[in-house]
Amino acid sequence: MRIGHGYDVHKLVEGRKLIIGGVEIEHSLGLLGHSDADVLLHAVMDSLLGAAGLGDIGKHFPDSDDRYRGISSVELLKNVANILDENAYIIENIDATIIAQKPKLAPYIGAMKDIICNTLNISSTQLNIKATTEEGLGFTGNESGIAAHSVCLLNSVRDALYVSSGMSECTLCNDCPNKK
């Protein structure tokens, strides 16, 4: 089993849509970023990539690459799901927290869960999303920005096969970290 943590923060500005968890949320401000600046999906992707030991979203989708300018983070999450599949990782669960003074996010969490679960092909019992304020403290409390944390647990098919078979040497593939 592998655990990963992801954190993201974006500044609130005028003239941008507020998109969190793939859901457009009615608000007078939006998040500033190269993509759609979806803090929740960015944190989730970083936790997944980190648990797999595969870097972070900056490595896979750099903000210096115009292909990702304005891109939906749901599309990036699909790419991360493919990367995990290619590397034989299975998502056990994801637990995420969005930190925002305003707007209230509880009415949107169900739709966020639906989008993330459908994109990652996981059940709703494998994903938990919470929202909280910081009681007016810090940059989220004074409504300068929104942040998100995500923790995930992954299993590696390769690691599971290696351990369960009692092999002294992995023979599954050339790039397996357990191959001697």
User: Is 104 buried (19+), middle (13-18) or exposed (0-12) by CB count in 10 A?
Assistant: exposed
Euclidean distance between CA atoms 76 and 156, whole angstroms: 21
pLDDT per residue rounded down to tens, the chain (180 residues): 999 999 999 999 999 999 999 999 999 999 999 999 999 999 999 999 999 999 999 999 998 999 999 899 999 999 999 999 999 999 999 999 999 999 999 999 999 999 999 999 999 999 999 999 999 889 888 899 999 999 999 999 877 665 555 555 555 555 555 544
Binding residues are: 8-10, 34-35, 42, 56-58, 61-65, 132-135, 139
Query: Which pTM value belongs to this model?
Result: 0.87
CATH 3.30.465.10 applies to domain 2-158: no
